[in-house]
């Protein structure tokens, strides 16, 4: 039986990135112990851990390919060995190569699906098997599934699959007291978003929503923190966090 007085434990994939880091630090501010996952940037993950521990939180960094089931099993092992179990999974890790459908090479398409679709399936499967009662699985989709922006075809396709898995897993976990939801951010001010975009394109995209700005990683982290903590009656949903863009 889970000790309701013990601190909750969260795995945050992609915690070395903009949104992932904001989520990890936001959860730590709520007293959650954090396992900060990274794929290639160990130094950035170490910075996240340092920031959390400087604020008297508890965190460790663990690397691995999200699409590799052995590496992700080791990630869950590390969480259990260090902190005793897993209560929250926030799966922010993903990649976003862009290109028109008519021109995008199939090798890039396959890489997007491997990381974004298989990666989500792998970590969700492990969470479904190993998460404690009272837990929360939070996947990441995108508002582009509604906005239908050109050049985002392969990426949006991968996130459509993430949404389908999310909604089905929520129903498969009936009786487990585990919620499963997806957050679908709109354009958010992260290095991933800014890469390759001239300022006029950034400004045009920022003007699409009624708030007339880009989202911030902290905006998205607030949504994840709600689903990870008090939002127990939200289950099997996709929450669009985009300032009203669609």
Note whether residue 192 is domain-resident. no
Cα–Cα distance for residue pair 80/10, rounded to 1 Å: 11
**Which two three-digit tokens encode residue 97?**
């190569």
Convert the pLDDT of each residue in 37-78 to its tens digit.
999 899 999 999 999 999 999 999 999 999 999 999 999 999
Q: How confident is the model at residue 1 (pLDDT cuts 50, 70, 90)?
A: very low
Domain assignment of residue 128, given as a range: 9-186+216-239
Note whether residue 83 is domain-resident. yes
Looking at 30-34, 94-98, 112-116, which range is the least confident one? 94-98
Q: How confident is the model at residue 193 (pLDDT cuts 50, 70, 90)?
A: confident
- Crossing angle for the helix pair 153-172 and 119-130, to the nearest 10 degrees: 20
Q: What is the CATH number of the domain that holds 234?
A: 3.40.50.720
**Which two three-digit tokens encode residue 142?**
């995108």
Catalytic residue at 155?
yes
Name the active-site residue from 38, 152, 155, 240. 155
């Amino acid at each position: 039986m889970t000790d309701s007085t013990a601190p909750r434990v969260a795995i945050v994939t992609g915690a070395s990135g903009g949104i992932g880091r904001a989520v990890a630090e936001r959860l730590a501010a709520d007293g959650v112990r954090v396992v900060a996952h990274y794929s290639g940037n160990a130094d950035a993950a170490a910075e996240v851990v340092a920031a959390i521990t400087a604020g008297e939180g508890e965190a460790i960094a663990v690397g691995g390919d999200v699409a590799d089931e052995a590496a992700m099993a080791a990630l869950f092992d590390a969480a259990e060995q260090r902190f005793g179990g897993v209560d929250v999974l926030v799966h922010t890790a993903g990649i976003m190569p862009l290109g028109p459908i008519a021109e995008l090479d199939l090798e890039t398409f396959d890489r997007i699906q491997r990381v974004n679709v298989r990666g989500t399936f792998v970590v969700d499967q492990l969470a479904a098997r190993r998460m404690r009662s009272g837990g929360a699985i939070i996947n990441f989709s995108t508002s582009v599934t509604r906005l239908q922006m050109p050049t985002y075809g392969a990426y949006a396709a991968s996130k459509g699959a993430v949404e389908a898995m999310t909604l089905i897993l929520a129903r498969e976990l009936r009786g487990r007291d585990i919620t499963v939801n997806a957050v679908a951010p709109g354009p958010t001010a992260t290095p991933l978003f800014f890469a390759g975009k001239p300022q006029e394109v950034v400004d045009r995209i920022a003007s699409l929503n009624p708030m007339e700005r880009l989202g911030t990683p902290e905006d998205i982290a607030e949504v994840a923190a709600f689903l990870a903590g008090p939002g127990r009656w939200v289950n099997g949903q996709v929450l669009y966090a985009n300032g009203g863009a669609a």
